[in-house]
Amino acid sequence: MNYQTPRLPRLHPEVAKLRSQASTASKGTNGLQRSNSQQQIEAIRVGVQSSKNWCDRGCACKCHDTHRSQTPSILNRLLGQLFVAYSGIPAITPKCDHDACKQSSAPKVQAEFWFPANLFWSKILQVEASYQAATGPSLQLRTYRHVPDSAPAVNFTINGNIDALKALFAQGLASPIDVSDTRGYSLLRWAVYSQQWETCRFLFDQGADADYRPKAISDNSPRNKASDLLLQGGLRQDAVDALTRMSRREDWLEDQNMPVLHRIILGISSRDLVQELQEHPKSVDDQDAMGRTALLWAAARGDDEAVTTLLHSSANPNIMDCQHAGPVSYAADRNHALCTRILLAAGADPDPIIPGGYKIGSPLNCAARNASDPLLIKALLEYGANVDACGIDGRTPLIHAARTDKVEFAHLLLEYNANINAISSAGQTPLTTAIANNSHEVLGHLLERWDQYSICPRLAGPHLLKITAEYADVETMLILRETNHFRLKYDEKYSAGDFDTLLRQRLDVDEEIEETFAELMGLVRAQVVPQSEYSGSLMEKGFVMG
């Protein structure tokens, strides 16, 4: 463990006040919050979503208030997961109060069943029944396949390895419609999440469903997310090209019901921002259909001047949208370091409290995943961001830094006592993530801090030798081979395994990779000792804790 003196952050007085109020309000509800958080991952859910013809989240109609009920999570692995939603059912769905929504009113029922993983058939069966006055009733049946978060297809998508995806598809080992277990993300949604724009184009062209929605009601389909990102702006041309292919930008903008201030920020209105605020000071915190304020949009677009102007007009920096994200989350996600610091100095909470105890990626988590400026990470940490904050997938900022090989991020996070032993819900650790993604700089940095592991890293998370055989390149293998700490005495069970076959199954395997891996395995197997002697050796080294 890291026994260094902790770096003490400074909390803005307004943030300290908010957290104190939240702590008082949460007394007596902790059990419920823990239950909700757990159900995000495991529950068999019977979700009842009141909506009208499945309008987008941007529709302002009253009928889109969402209700959800869940069956006991203990039955998840035995019976699977069931999602049921309906819209437009007379006497059940709330009445419409928005003209655009009334025009598209139609009864619809959708059921989605996830068969239990590894027990019967790892499939998702989606049935949708609807009725249109002009065409009559219709019934649609779709199938998807759910896979673990650690599946090769997910890993290759996140890393933009299109050649590897093509090979998996050709061999029938994966498909463009695969969906991961924890978040319910399709491969296309993972590509958008990790900003792999060329992979987005490839998957979309391969028939990926751009309208498939993740499990969380606060999350977006790839198509809606693409439309949203385009509206936020500030993208490279390759991102614009890839997102435009699957978006519906103009319709998305129309659905948002933007107040005047929002239109000024987005450049849609030519009115002057200062003049509008002077004439309508109470409108500063007006929200659009997704609950976003003008300040949030300014932060997302990196408009430092507009952010400062709105804050001087008493804009609230802690209003979250329907996706449980506030201005600082959007600024951090889009790598706007100055905007982020301005918001934090104005009292924005670096760790917003999410209603219901749900686990959503924090601003620091978003920054570690998508940003590139170390000053942004430093600002969040200095203002008290939780260094180990994670979303439902359990991936901490250090795990994200290990995936993208951002060694400056990793250094800062470890300075603030990031948990070097963190394990995600899919069993990933910073070390195994660095190996799987061939993040050479971060890997070396992590190995230099071997003494900070509470247990031997090879005993936590995925099997290091298996991960190495499946993903490591020559440089990664050399780093592991030359690390003195790696020359431990391994028990027979750990070093046994057909790792050579795993290596030969790789698409990129060549003579150099085979030789380097053989040298590494020779080093490992040369240290094999009986199990009893091995256990005693680990106890002496302090790698096994009671």
Q: For position 192, which CATH number holds?
A: 1.25.40.20
Residues 6+ positions from 142 with CB-CB distance below 8 Å: 125, 126, 128, 209
Last residue of a domain, one of 205, 237, 253: 253
Domain check: are 141 and 56 in the same one? yes
Alpha carbon 329 to its chain centroid, in Å, reads 13
Domain check: are 139 and 91 in the same one? yes
- Host H or E run for residue 142: strand 136-147
Domain check: are 114 and 157 in the same one? no
Placement of tokens 């951002």 in the chain: 406
Residues 6+ positions from 464 with CB-CB distance below 8 Å: 431, 432, 435, 457, 458, 480
Pairing of strands 66-71, 123-132: unpaired
Domain check: are 249 and 237 in the same one? yes
For the chain, how many structural domains are there in total? Answer: 2
Domain check: are 193 and 160 in the same one? yes
Whether the predicted model's global pTM rises above the 0.85 cut: no
Domain check: are 133 and 153 in the same one? no
Establish if 51 belongs to a structural domain: yes
Q: How high is the pLDDT of residue 412?
A: 96
Establish if 232 belongs to a structural domain: yes
Establish if 184 belongs to a structural domain: yes
Which positions of the chain have pLDDT values less than 50? Answer: 1-6, 8, 31-54, 56-58, 60, 64-71, 102-103, 487, 531-532, 534-535, 538-546
User: Token pair of 418, please?
Assistant: 């990031």
Residue 140 backbone phi and psi in degrees, to 5 = -125, 140
Establish if 364 belongs to a structural domain: no
Q: How high is the pLDDT of residue 23?
A: 61
Residues 6+ positions from 174 with CB-CB distance below 8 Å: 147, 151, 152, 153, 165, 168, 187
Domain check: are 153 and 130 in the same one? no
Instruction: Say what the alpha-carbon torsion angle 187, 189, 194, 196 is, to the nearest 10 degrees.
Output: 70
Establish if 437 belongs to a structural domain: no
Establish if 396 belongs to a structural domain: no
Cα–Cα distance for residue pair 511/505, rounded to 1 Å: 13
| Total number of residues shown for the chain | 546
Range of the domain at 156: 148-253
Domain check: are 165 and 195 in the same one? yes
Q: How does 8-18 read in b/e, with b if 16+ C-beta sit within 10 Å?
A: eeebbeebeeb
**CA-wise closest residue to 489 among 453, 523, 461, 459:** 523
Establish if 95 belongs to a structural domain: yes
Domain check: are 45 and 114 in the same one? yes
User: CB under 8 Å, gap of 24 or more: what pairs does 245-251 form?
Assistant: 245/200, 245/201, 245/204, 246/188, 246/200, 246/204, 246/210, 246/222, 247/223, 248/223, 251/56, 251/227
Domain check: are 126 and 214 in the same one? no
Last residue of a domain, one of 123, 147, 171: 147
Residues 6+ positions from 505 with CB-CB distance below 8 Å: none
Q: How many CB atoms lie within 10 A of CB 73?
A: 17
Contact 123, 401 (CB under 8 A): no
Last residue of a domain, one of 253, 270, 298: 253
Domain check: are 143 and 42 in the same one? yes
Q: How high is the pLDDT of residue 35?
A: 42
Domain check: are 180 and 134 in the same one? no
Establish if 44 belongs to a structural domain: yes
